[in-house]
Amino acid sequence: MKVLNFINGEWKESSSKQFAPVINPATGDAIGEVTVSIEADVGAAVKAAKAAQKKWALVPAPKRAEVLYKVGYLLKERKEQLARMLTMEMGKVIEEARGEVQEGIDMAFYMAGEGRRLFGDTTPSELKDKFAMSVRAPVGVVGIITPWNFPIAIATWKSFPAIVAGNAVVWKPALETPFMAQELAKIFEEAGLPKGVFNVVNGDGPTTGNALVEHPDVRVISFTGSNEVGRKIAEKCGRSLKKVSLEMGGKNAVIVMDDADLSLAVEGILWSAFGTSGQRCTACSRIIAHENIKKELENRLLEAMRTLTIGNGLDENVKVGPVINEKALQKIDRYVQIGKEEGAKLLTGGYILQEGEYNKGYYYAPTLFTDVMPNMRIAREEIFGPVASIIPVKSLEEAIEVNNSVDYGLSSSIFTRDVNKVFTAMRDLDTGIVYVNAGTTGAEIHLPFGGTKGTGNGHRDSGVAALDVFTEWKSIYIDFSGKLQRAQIDIDE
């Protein structure tokens, strides 16, 4: 498959004439190629978006929403086809790929509903015969930059609220996963979205992504990806006073107290730590275990990990797929070596799988360390692979302190049967998402999604909170007294 840009409703090759291969991480095979854009292509997309946005903003929001309903139905109709394509370009197992497409479907219907809400406030004026209200206004052209690990869901979290609110979008997907971008653009086209409201410009970060960040007509950047890149983008947006929403990495923990249902905790950890081969921003990479159950938990986890079938995600029996590419494999392996050098005890895994069917793809053995200290690098830095570390603690207070001691603040979880511990954890865990008696993954689209501290910059994807990124508040005062009334001054009349 040859993937082109989608600009002003037309499929176009980049003016660079360059293409990059699309690799199936399960097999190492090239399964397509994608056009690699330069600044001029970004410029053309932003120009089209700017012109289209002016008209789109004047379409009544419930009518804008009708397009999203159609998008939702088309996603639903094509769920299986999209999921298979997603597994081929990104590697996650088919069951999870279906779940990811489902997130897009849910988001389409949820945000379509916003077309008949987009609530502002009406509120009394402090003066007589005066009316006051606030309304949401679109920002204009929205630049979206996304990672490869959720190639369609994240784009829907961002573009659907942006579009229903009356903005136009220019999306730069990750170069590794252009198929989903192409399919979403086709769906928008079929759903009847006017030309130029949704555009896709494929390319790399430093050239294509950067051109979008630096374009003066892009008024908001919504980015999901690594901290390193997010920080650079925020600096650039800061200089031009551009609104920027950042969703970045995580170092998420599951806390297991000594009164927990251990079977449930093991299931939750297995799913959160090794699902998507650990390549989720919410993946559990720390297991903070009460010392009374640490040994038992280790044994149960080791037993459970033996049931993890590793392989090509298109096989329904496979539980853990490949990681995205060779670079990721090497990064994960480097962290495992660091862990060993730091004195952590390797319980299982810790190597690249190379024999037989693993020879051509990018597979890492699910890995478990124990006796990890909170200050070790493997307990603080994002590895983004199937590697989890058990950190022993003596109390809930210590567990919470360890959880909160990292730079990131995305997701945390606690397994306990004690209601007092539950409420203490809900209050004191400093992450944007907290789970009780479930792993660290599994966000639902109608709640805000995002993190505190180094994970974000205070904005949220998903839920109504997403609309805050893509709208400006406009406060409107209507004076029907027929005379000049001065707020804060004419208060005694």
Burial bucket for residue 360 (CB in 10 Å: 0-12, 13-18, 19+)? middle
Among 35, 149, 182, 367, binds ligand NAD (CB under 6 A): 149
The continuous run of DSSP H or E covering 389 comes out as strand 387-393
Cβ neighbours of residue 316 closer than 8 Å, sequence gap 6 or more: 94, 95
**Alpha-carbon torsion 151, 156, 158, 162, what sign?**
positive
CB of 384 to ligand NAD, least distance (A): 6
Cβ neighbours of residue 187 closer than 8 Å, sequence gap 6 or more: 71, 74, 75, 78
Active-site hit among 96, 247, 298, 382: 247
Residues 389-418 that bind ligand NAD (CB under 6 A): 410
Among 150, 179, 274, 363, binds ligand NAD (CB under 6 A): 150
The residue (of 249 and 313) whose beta carbon lies closer to ligand NAD is 249
Active-site hit among 114, 281, 298, 382: 281
| Cα 293 from Cα 181, distance rounded (Å) | 46
The residue (of 196 and 409) whose beta carbon lies closer to ligand NAD is 409
Cβ neighbours of residue 389 closer than 8 Å, sequence gap 6 or more: 285, 286, 287, 339, 344, 368, 369, 370, 372, 376, 378, 379
Stretch near ligand NAD under the rule CB under 6 A, chosen from 99-107, 198-206, 301-309, 467-475 = 198-206
| Cα 483 from Cα 343, distance rounded (Å) | 78
* Residue 100 is a catalytic residue: no
Burial bucket for residue 73 (CB in 10 Å: 0-12, 13-18, 19+)? middle
The residue (of 283 and 393) whose beta carbon lies closer to ligand NAD is 283
Beta-carbon-side half-sphere exposure of residue 484 (alpha carbons within 13 Å) = 2
| Cα 368 from Cα 345, distance rounded (Å) | 9
The residue (of 24 and 455) whose beta carbon lies closer to ligand NAD is 455
Stretch near ligand NAD under the rule CB under 6 A, chosen from 53-61, 146-154, 193-201, 357-365 = 146-154
Do strands 121-124 and 130-138 pair parallel, antiparallel, or not at all (unpaired)? antiparallel
CB of 173 to ligand NAD, least distance (A): 6
Residues 353-382 that bind ligand NAD (CB under 6 A): 382
Q: Does 91 bind ligand NAD (CB under 6 A)?
A: no
**Alpha-carbon torsion 331, 332, 337, 343, what sign?**
positive
The residue (of 85 and 200) whose beta carbon lies closer to ligand NAD is 200
The residue (of 283 and 347) whose beta carbon lies closer to ligand NAD is 283
Residue span 427-466 as binding mask against ligand NAD, x where in contact by CB under 6 A, dash where not = ------------------------x---x-----------
Do strands 141-145 and 218-224 pair parallel, antiparallel, or not at all (unpaired)? parallel
CB of 449 to ligand NAD, least distance (A): 6
Distances in whole angstroms, Cα of residue 284 to Cα of each of 187, 228, 289, 395, 410: 34, 20, 13, 20, 10
Spatial strand order in the sheet of 218-224: 10-12, 5-7, 198-200, 168-172, 141-145, 218-224, 243-247
Residue span 199-238 as binding mask against ligand NAD, x where in contact by CB under 6 A, dash where not = -----xxx--xx--x----------xxx--x--xx-----
| Cα 195 from Cα 209, distance rounded (Å) | 22
The residue (of 25 and 250) whose beta carbon lies closer to ligand NAD is 250
| Cα 96 from Cα 319, distance rounded (Å) | 9
Q: Does 268 bind ligand NAD (CB under 6 A)?
A: no
The continuous run of DSSP H or E covering 230 comes out as helix 227-239
Stretch near ligand NAD under the rule CB under 6 A, chosen from 79-87, 94-102, 127-135, 141-149 = 141-149
| Cα 93 from Cα 96, distance rounded (Å) | 5
Q: Does 331 bind ligand NAD (CB under 6 A)?
A: no
The residue (of 166 and 432) whose beta carbon lies closer to ligand NAD is 432
Stretch near ligand NAD under the rule CB under 6 A, chosen from 37-45, 113-121, 168-176, 311-319 = 168-176
CB of 444 to ligand NAD, least distance (A): 14
Number of residues that bind ligand NAD (CB under 6 A): 31
CB of 274 to ligand NAD, least distance (A): 16
| Cα 148 from Cα 173, distance rounded (Å) | 8
* Residue 237 is a catalytic residue: no
Three-state secondary-structure class, residue 355: coil
User: Closest by alpha carbon to 399, among 228, 227, 256?
Assistant: 256
Among 83, 145, 184, 467, binds ligand NAD (CB under 6 A): 145
The residue (of 32 and 250) whose beta carbon lies closer to ligand NAD is 250
Among 160, 171, 384, 435, binds ligand NAD (CB under 6 A): 384
Q: Does 281 bind ligand NAD (CB under 6 A)?
A: yes
Question: Catalytic site residues?
Answer: 247, 281
The residues binding ligand NAD (CB under 6 A) are 145-150, 172, 174-175, 204-206, 209-210, 213, 224-226, 229, 232-233, 247-250, 281, 382, 384, 410, 451, 455
